């Protein structure tokens, strides 16, 4: 879900090729969730093999990473760790939405309303432990590095971007900007021509680049103030103030400087305010991560996908060719260490 | 001032370890022996050499610098047979090194050292240290040479591995801790190196020697070994290939 501050941010349309030669930290849960929610049969049934084991996450990860790697992009997947206790309410709300969507999905199937069924099915999407484990396994076999963050994956990814270890964060959510990521890339995992759910329509989805500093400069606010705007709008960690969107939040910051000095001072409990700020401005971070891209393990990938999940041999072989890493290492000079 | 004599094979060994990186080098002479620091023209690798006076049959030195054309010295030493003594004398007036091998007297003019300053040695801390036989190192290199132009050196608490990946082929040579003379590691490290440099360095180590290897993650590798029967010490530093 994330925070809705889209309305005040300027986005730039880019092409996949513009990211050539960069390392991108991918918000793993966010991305796999998209695959599982979007890769379905027309009536909304998730894709699975003949044993009923879901395969949408594997199909998505395989084909999308082939595209990224053959475009010269180096993806690094960051999985969420333990959610902050502040997030409990959000998680509970999501659970309720899924339960309701489940019921509506079944109703729609009974009424044979496929478009509705598809759209409700998307809302029921859950990532199971098995899916996450299998996602890590396929990444490993593809030679793509990943890690589990101490808490929010976007927090870890953003710190890595601030250190310069990755160039941008790929996520649909805007939270990484609050965590200080200099660049956010949206739609990286769904760009191209996409069929609209439940309809015979196609839509062109473009990759969007959102840069933090230029946006802050244009808006005339600091990152701390952007975090305050997000808190007013509502984040995964707090409810937000009813009736306040990004534009009203921005206006308050420009006028008063912070939540405390604004008309909303009473609307957010002081302790919650300081904890949510702390979460975004000083997130927990693991210093030790391996950023190493390897050649894919062809045998392992064939065994996993063809034997365990009935992928066709041709599609896996084609993918393997795309996953071959070109030599991207450069000889360093000792002067770098002098 | 330098007046010394040494066994030909010791001088040949010095020429070998230096010539892997540079064609010309400045040797620093003093009362205790000879030393050298040099970096290759591409600044990819560096050598630090010290040779105590114990490496010589007799040795008299006073602080001076000798600019030596390594290739030329290599050719001259070919005149000596194994076990021959080679006499070296610096003629300061003519700026020549006078080399006597048996009845041959060869006067070699020295290179001007004015433009040859000692390179700055990077101060790097490397987390992983191991010792192994030169033969093991060279075996791993030989295994890699038919596969790629690069070699990855990987180590953790349990093993040291040399591996290479080509377009279609790959090779690993893994040495478990028991096969190493020493291994001190904390976590896994991996760095990738240009095989031509690494191979030339390793080949300069005389067989039967032990080599100490210091490794980090995407960091230069340090190779250290003794020469001249323990009277000399060589330290090589090689910069890695790193993903850009």
Please provide the distance, in angstroms rounded to a whole number, between the alpha carbons at the two ends of chain B: 48
pLDDT at A194: 61
Confidence of residue B47 (pLDDT cuts 50, 70, 90): very high
Whether the CB-CB separation of B154 and B161 falls below 8 Å is answered with yes
> Is residue A209 domain-shared with residue A66, that is, in the same domain?
yes
Inside any domain, residue A305: no
At residue A337, φ and ψ (nearest 5 deg) are: -105, 0
Q: How far apart are CA A79 and CA A149, in angstroms?
A: 6
Residues of B in contact with A334 (CB under 8 A): 39, 43-46, 122, 220, 237, 239
pLDDT at A191: 63
Range of A54's domain?
Answer: 1-218
Inside any domain, residue A205: yes
Residue in chain B nearest A165 by alpha carbon: B244
> Is residue A179 domain-shared with residue A279, that is, in the same domain?
no
Closest chain A C-alpha to B107 CA, distance in angstroms: 36
- How does pLDDT run along chain A (338 residues), one tens digit per residue? 577 888 899 999 988 888 887 899 999 988 898 888 877 777 777 787 877 788 889 988 998 999 899 888 999 999 988 777 777 777 777 777 777 777 877 787 788 777 777 777 777 677 788 889 999 999 999 999 999 998 889 999 999 999 888 999 999 899 999 999 999 999 987 766 665 555 566 777 889 999 999 999 999 999 999 999 999 999 888 888 888 999 999 999 999 999 988 888 888 888 888 999 999 999 888 988 888 888 888 899 999 988 888 888 888 888 888 887 766 677 888 988 88
3-state SS class at B8? helix
Domain count, chain A: 2
Q: How far apart are CA B149 and CA B165, in angstroms?
A: 9
DSSP-assigned letter for residue A33? H
Residues of A in contact with B45 (CB under 8 A): 334
pLDDT at A193: 61
Inside any domain, residue A323: no
Q: Which of A18-22, A124-128, B90-94, B144-148 shows the lowest per-residue confidence on average (mean pLDDT)?
A: A124-128
Q: Do A334 and B241 touch (CB under 8 A)?
A: no
Residues of B in contact with A335 (CB under 8 A): 43
Q: What is the pLDDT of residues B151-209, one digit of tens each?
A: 999 999 999 999 998 877 899 999 999 999 999 999 999 999 999 999 999 999 988 89
Q: CA separation (Å) from B77 to A80, B6, B12, B15, B172?
A: 65, 12, 7, 9, 38
Residues of A in contact with B239 (CB under 8 A): 331-334, 336-337
At residue B93, φ and ψ (nearest 5 deg) are: -65, -45
Cα–Cα nearest to B234, from B47, B29, B24: B47
End residue of a domain, out of A283, A306, A324? A283
Q: What is the pLDDT of residues A274-283, one digit of tens each?
A: 999 999 999 8
pLDDT at B71: 93
- Sign of the dihedral defined by the CA atoms of residues A285, A290, A295, A296, in that order: negative
Q: How far apart are CA B30 and CA A63, in angstroms?
A: 66
Residues of A in contact with B244 (CB under 8 A): 21, 328-330
Residues of B in contact with A337 (CB under 8 A): 122-124, 219-220, 239
- Residues 5-44 on A with a CB inside 8 Å of B are 21
Pick the residue of A23, A324, A332, A335 with the most B CBs within 10 A to test the interface with B by mutation.
A332
B165 touches chain A (CB under 8 A): yes
Q: What is the pLDDT of residues A54-97, one digit of tens each?
A: 888 998 899 899 989 988 899 999 998 877 777 777 777 777 77
Inside any domain, residue A302: no
B46 touches chain A (CB under 8 A): yes
As a whole number of angstroms, the longest Cα–Cα distance in chain A is 72
Strands A12-14 and A23-27: unpaired
> Is residue A123 domain-shared with residue A60, that is, in the same domain?
yes
Pick the residue of A291, A294, A329, A335 with the most B CBs within 10 A to test the interface with B by mutation.
A329
DSSP-assigned letter for residue A117? H
Residues of A in contact with B123 (CB under 8 A): 337
3-state SS class at B115? coil
> Is residue A158 domain-shared with residue A226, that is, in the same domain?
no
Inside any domain, residue A250: yes
As a whole number of angstroms, the longest Cα–Cα distance in chain B is 60
Inside any domain, residue A277: yes
Q: Do B244 and A331 touch (CB under 8 A)?
A: no
Inside any domain, residue A296: no
> Is residue A10 domain-shared with residue A62, that is, in the same domain?
yes
Confidence of residue B224 (pLDDT cuts 50, 70, 90): very high
> Is residue A144 domain-shared with residue A172, that is, in the same domain?
yes
Check which CATH number belongs to the domain holding A74 and give it.
Answer: 3.40.50.1010
Q: Please give the average per-residue pLDDT across B75-81, as a whole number.
A: 94
At residue A62, φ and ψ (nearest 5 deg) are: -65, -55
For B8-95, strand residue ranges (E) read 24-30, 33-39, 45-52, 58-61, 64-69, 85-91
Across the interface, which of A292, A335, A336 has its CB nearest the CB of B190?
Answer: A292
Closest chain A C-alpha to B122 CA, distance in angstroms: 4
B192 touches chain A (CB under 8 A): yes
Q: Do A337 and B239 touch (CB under 8 A)?
A: yes
Looking from the CA of A71 toward its CB, the CA atoms found within 13 Å total 19
Check which CATH number belongs to the domain holding A234 and give it.
Answer: 1.10.150.20
Q: Do A330 and B243 touch (CB under 8 A)?
A: yes
> Is residue A76 domain-shared with residue A131, that is, in the same domain?
yes
End residue of a domain, out of A218, A248, A267? A218
Q: Do A330 and B242 touch (CB under 8 A)?
A: yes
Confidence of residue B114 (pLDDT cuts 50, 70, 90): confident
Q: Do B122 and A338 touch (CB under 8 A)?
A: yes
pLDDT at B118: 83
A334 touches chain B (CB under 8 A): yes
Residues of A in contact with B43 (CB under 8 A): 333-335
At residue A5, φ and ψ (nearest 5 deg) are: -115, 15
> Is residue A92 domain-shared with residue A237, that is, in the same domain?
no
B239 touches chain A (CB under 8 A): yes
Across the interface, which of B122, B187, B188 has its CB nearest the CB of A334?
Answer: B122
B43 touches chain A (CB under 8 A): yes
Inside any domain, residue A164: yes
Cα-Cα-Cα-Cα dihedral of B39, B45, B47, B48, to 10°? 90
DSSP-assigned letter for residue A244? -
> Is residue A55 domain-shared with residue A177, that is, in the same domain?
yes
Closest chain B C-alpha to A325 CA, distance in angstroms: 9
End residue of a domain, out of A218, A241, A265? A218
Q: Do B190 and A21 touch (CB under 8 A)?
A: no
Burial B40-79 (b: 16+ CB within 10 A, else e): beeebbbbbbbbbbebbeebebeeeebbbbbebbeebbee
A-B interface: how many C-beta pairs under 8 angstroms? 57
Across the interface, which of A292, A327, A337 has its CB nearest the CB of B122?
Answer: A337
Whether the CB-CB separation of B241 and A330 falls below 8 Å is answered with yes
Closest chain A C-alpha to B103 CA, distance in angstroms: 44
Q: Do B243 and A329 touch (CB under 8 A)?
A: yes
Q: CA separation (Å) from B56 to A186, B5, B9, B28, B202?
A: 69, 6, 11, 16, 24
Closest chain B C-alpha to A330 CA, distance in angstroms: 5
Structure tokens at B89: 């004398």
> Is residue A146 domain-shared with residue A161, that is, in the same domain?
yes
Q: Do B42 and A335 touch (CB under 8 A)?
A: no
> Is residue A46 domain-shared with residue A101, that is, in the same domain?
yes
> Is residue A120 domain-shared with residue A85, that is, in the same domain?
yes
Q: How far apart are CA B210 and CA B1, in angstroms?
A: 33
């Amino acid at each position: 879900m994330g925070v809705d501050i889209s309305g005040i941010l300027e986005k730039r349309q880019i092409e996949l090729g513009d990211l050539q030669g960069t390392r991108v930290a991918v918000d793993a849960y966010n991305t796999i969730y998209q695959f599982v929610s979007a890769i379905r049969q027309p009536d909304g049934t998730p894709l699975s093999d003949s044993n009923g084991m879901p395969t949408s996450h594997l199909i998505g990860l395989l084909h999308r990473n082939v595209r990224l790697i053959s475009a010269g992009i180096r993806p690094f997947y960051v999985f969420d760790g333990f959610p902050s206790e502040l997030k409990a309410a959000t998680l509970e709300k999501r659970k309720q939405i899924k339960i309701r969507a489940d019921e509506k999905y079944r109703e729609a199937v009974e009424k044979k309303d496929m478009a509705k069924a598809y759209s409700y099915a998307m809302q029921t999407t859950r990532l199971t432990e098995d899916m996450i484990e299998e996602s890590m396994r396929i990444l490993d076999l593809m030679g793509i590095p990943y890690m589990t963050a101490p808490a929010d994956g976007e927090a870890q990814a953003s710190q890595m971007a601030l250190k310069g270890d990755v160039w941008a964060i790929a996520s649909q959510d805007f939270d990484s900007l609050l965590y200080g990521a200099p660049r956010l890339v949206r739609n990286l995992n769904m760009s191209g021509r996409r069929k609209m759910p439940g309809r015979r329509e196609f839509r062109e989805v473009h990759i969007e680049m959102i840069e933090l500093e230029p946006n802050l400069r244009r808006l005339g606010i600091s990152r701390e103030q952007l975090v305050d705007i997000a808190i007013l709008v509502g984040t995964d960690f707090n409810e937000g103030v009813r009736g306040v969107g990004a534009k009203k939040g921005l206006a308050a910051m420009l006028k008063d400087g912070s939540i405390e000095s604004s008309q909303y001072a009473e609307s957010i409990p002081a302790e919650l305010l300081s904890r949510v700020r702390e979460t975004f401005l000083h997130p927990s971070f693991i210093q030790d991560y391996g950023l190493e891209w390897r050649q894919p393990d062809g045998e392992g990938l064939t065994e996993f996908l063809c034997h365990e999940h009935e992928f066709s041999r041709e599609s896996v072989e084609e993918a393997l060719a795309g996953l071959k890493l070109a030599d991207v290492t450069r000889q360093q000079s000792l002067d770098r260490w002098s | 001032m330098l007046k010394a004599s040494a066994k030909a094979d010791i001088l040949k060994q010095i020429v070998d370890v230096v010539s892997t990186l540079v064609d010309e080098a400045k040797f620093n002479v003093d009362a205790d022996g000879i030393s050298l620091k040099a970096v290759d023209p591409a600044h990819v690798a560096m050598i630090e050499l010290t040779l105590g006076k114990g490496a010589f049959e007799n040795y008299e030195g006073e602080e001076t610098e000798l600019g030596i054309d390594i290739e030329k010295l290599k050719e001259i030493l070919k005149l000596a047979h194994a076990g021959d003594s080679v006499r070296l004398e610096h003629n300061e007036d003519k700026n020549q090194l006078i080399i006597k091998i048996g009845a041959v007297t060869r006067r070699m003019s020295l290179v001007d050292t004015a433009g040859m300053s000692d390179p700055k040695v990077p101060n790097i801390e490397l987390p992983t240290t191991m010792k192994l036989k030169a033969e093991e190192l060279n075996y791993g290199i030989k295994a890699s040479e038919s596969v790629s132009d690069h070699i990855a050196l990987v180590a953790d608490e349990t093993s040291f591995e040399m591996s290479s990946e080509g377009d279609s082929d790959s090779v690993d040579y893994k040495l478990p801790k028991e096969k190493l003379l020493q291994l001190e590691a904390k976590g896994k490290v991996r760095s990738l190196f240009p095989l031509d440099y690494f191979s030339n360095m390793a080949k300069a180590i005389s067989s039967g020697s032990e080599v100490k290897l210091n490794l980090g993650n995407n960091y230069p590798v340090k190779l250290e070994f003794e020469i001249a029967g323990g009277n000399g010490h060589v330290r090589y530093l090689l910069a890695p290939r790193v993903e850009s």
